[in-house]
Chain A
Amino acid sequence: MTNTSDRPASELESELHRRYTQAFEQYANLTRAFMDQWQKAGGAVPGPAPAAPDLAKTLSDWFQRSVLGADPSQAWARFAGLAGGSVAGAGTGAASSGGLGSGATGSGALGGGFPGGWGSAAAGTAPASGATPLEQTLQQQEQIGRRLFELAAQCQRLQTQLASHWAAVGQRAAQNFLGGLQGTAGWPGAAAGSDPTQWTQKLYGAWIETAEKAYQEAARGAEYVQLLASLTNAANAFKAEQNRLVELWAKFFDHPTRSELDALQREMRELREELRELRRPR
């Protein structure tokens, strides 16, 4: 009798710790910005950007960092072994290479498991016909390497586009939020002597509402849907090429390959299906 997860409690603990710390840091940055702005404006509500450029930028950056932290495209890239991190910051004009940049070239993109020099040494030297098995394998590795390079570059382009997309959405959300506050006489709930933790929490809640609404609209838009699908497919293609590379060398060294295992597992499934049918009362 078991109802337990196969994931250890320590995993839950460290994951929760990470999430809690991140969320709290994000919250602290935001409330600090609210309070700074409030003090600068003498308790009055700041206007939308550019009237309150500091706050608008803080909100916009917060939006982008939060989205990229949770963006499914990042998860796909990590799945494919492409991205170690996000491309946060691209929205400010400087597209970061994130986890892709250096890893996209040479042996890095191949997971570091194969010396990049082998591929380049083989290029142009191995004859097209009459090549030894090693030369043929090196030729194929070279082709796969080129494809990996193209796919990594494609993924990076798409990630940068996504980051720019979210930066624009974040800026709009920040302006909407500050614009929405304009109808009020001062910072909502904030007055001399009032408890800042209370009114900043209310502001934070209102900002979450605004940000979520902006996100929901953008996430349903054709542009984002297309970008997400393209990045997902490119990241998966990258992983498929990595698998081809492993398969190539497994064959060369006469080790069991993924396709051989797949064939066995397919057969096992079919046998189980037949067995199931045979056992079934008629």
Chain B
Amino acid sequence: MLKIDFWNIVFTVINLLVLYLAMKKFLIGPITGIMEKRKELIESQLAHAAETEQAALQLKSDYEKDLGNAKEESVRIVDKARSDAKAEYDRIVKDADAKASDIIAKANKTVEMQKQKTLQEMENEITGLALAAAAKIMNDKQDNDTALYNKFLAKAGDANDTAGN
């Protein structure tokens, strides 16, 4: 019990060292190793999750940006369509104005022509009337004077021209 024996101290030291190595190799090493590995696994999974979240957020912001761009684009398209329509409208109205004034001008011309034609007809009729009147006068006076007739005709025509104009 109280007997100190050098060799047995040496044996115990050797025993302890052997036990230390054996425990380290067979018990503590494998278990701490596996705990360490699990910790690493969990950490890597967490890191992966964080990465994925980052990517998702990136995608989301991209989509939001795209959406904003699309809105701007649509506004731009509508504006362009509106301005195009306005230009087209203006062009059509201008065309219509031009056509209308064309038509009016033509109508005026037609009216003028009609008037000329009517005047011509009236002149012819007056000539007929004058002839008839002259014939009646010749019958009355037996005076078949062509010179007198022409003189009258010239006079009557001049008088008629003056009245017409």
Do the two chains bind? no
